[in-house]
Amino acid sequence: MIGSKQLVADNNEKRKLLTKENEKYYDDMLVYIRIKSKVSAQESEEILMELLDHLIEGQQDGKTAADIFGKNPKGYADELISELPKETFRTRLPFFGILAGIFISWSLIGRGLFSLITGLFTVLDTRVYLGTVVIETLYWLIFALLMIWFVFRCVERSLFNKKRALLKQMILAGIVGVLGSAPGFILIFFHLVSNFGPSFAFGWLPSLASGALLRIGCFLANKKLNIF
């Protein structure tokens, strides 16, 4: 079996063979299907590769993408997605699990590096309060997930248009991002969530080490499950 990473790489190469008109048609479909089907990269990349191969062969016979896939690319892509294996909460759990894992691991690594560097100049209180940490982590996780969902939606809405509206959508996403993250920064900066729960010292080394371990764990899990 050819893995999804290889398929993506092959796809990038082969797309260069398309005419400009066909590329525009295919690109929209590609992005749409990648965004909308998050079950397994393998299945969506395989069908995308089949469509691309077909389009390239058809192009040599003088056909356009619209001749082959119809004049309604969005409708066609929706039809394909509806026939891909159904996604349920269970099948999507690994996706969100690994996403959260990567997010937390980078936070730990970032915190570790920050403590290490600032610790060189000043004495840091590395004590963490479990209750506070859980609340803050939950806030950022939910924010990150909403943000990803929102950006996906923005990209989705910019597809299949005559005019590319991506820039406008991205500016919108940026504004939402700033507005959404502001309360989080205010909470942390002004210590509005009072410390609660058991506390323990958590210096730069354990922070960095646990972050790195978690990142490796996510990497291995992703390699096994082949999600991203």
Partner 1 sequence: MSVRSQLLKGVLDGCVLSIIEKENVYGYELSKKLQDAGLGDVSEGTIYPVLLRLQKNGYIRGEMRPSESGPNRKYYSLTDEGCAALNELAQEWAHIAGPVTALMRRRQADDSFEAINRGK
Q: Is 21 in the site for partner 1 (CB under 8 A)?
A: no
- Residue 6 or 118: the one with the smaller Cβ distance to partner 1 is 6
Q: Is 13 in the site for partner 1 (CB under 8 A)?
A: no
Task: Convert 25-50 into a string of H (helix), E (strand) and C (coil).
Answer: HHHHHHHHHHHHCCCCHHHHHHHHHH
Residues between 33 and 72 that touch partner 1 (CB under 8 A): 46-47, 49-51, 53-54, 57-58, 63, 67-70
d(CA 152, CA 120) in angstroms, rounded, equals 41
- Residue 10 or 136: the one with the smaller Cβ distance to partner 1 is 10
- Residue 64 or 126: the one with the smaller Cβ distance to partner 1 is 64
How does 140-166 read in b/e, with b if 16+ C-beta sit within 10 Å? bbeebeebeebbbebbeebbbeeeeee
Structure tokens belonging to residue 191: 């210590």
d(CA 4, CA 80) in angstroms, rounded, equals 18
d(CA 137, CA 22) in angstroms, rounded, equals 44
Structure tokens belonging to residue 135: 């609340």
Least Å distance between CB 68 and partner 1? 5
Contact letters (x/-) for partner 1, 83-122, by CB under 8 A?
xxx-------------------------------------
Least Å distance between CB 5 and partner 1? 14
**What is the distance in angstroms between the CA of the first residue and the CA of the last residue of the chain?**
17
Least Å distance between CB 83 and partner 1? 4
Q: Are 143 and 99 in contact (CB under 8 A)?
A: no
- Residue 43 or 92: the one with the smaller Cβ distance to partner 1 is 43
Residues between 115 and 154 that touch partner 1 (CB under 8 A): none
- Residue 68 or 145: the one with the smaller Cβ distance to partner 1 is 68
d(CA 77, CA 36) in angstroms, rounded, equals 10
Least Å distance between CB 133 and partner 1? 43
Give the binding site for partner 1 (CB under 8 A).
1-2, 10, 46-47, 49-51, 53-54, 57-58, 63, 67-70, 76, 79-80, 82-85
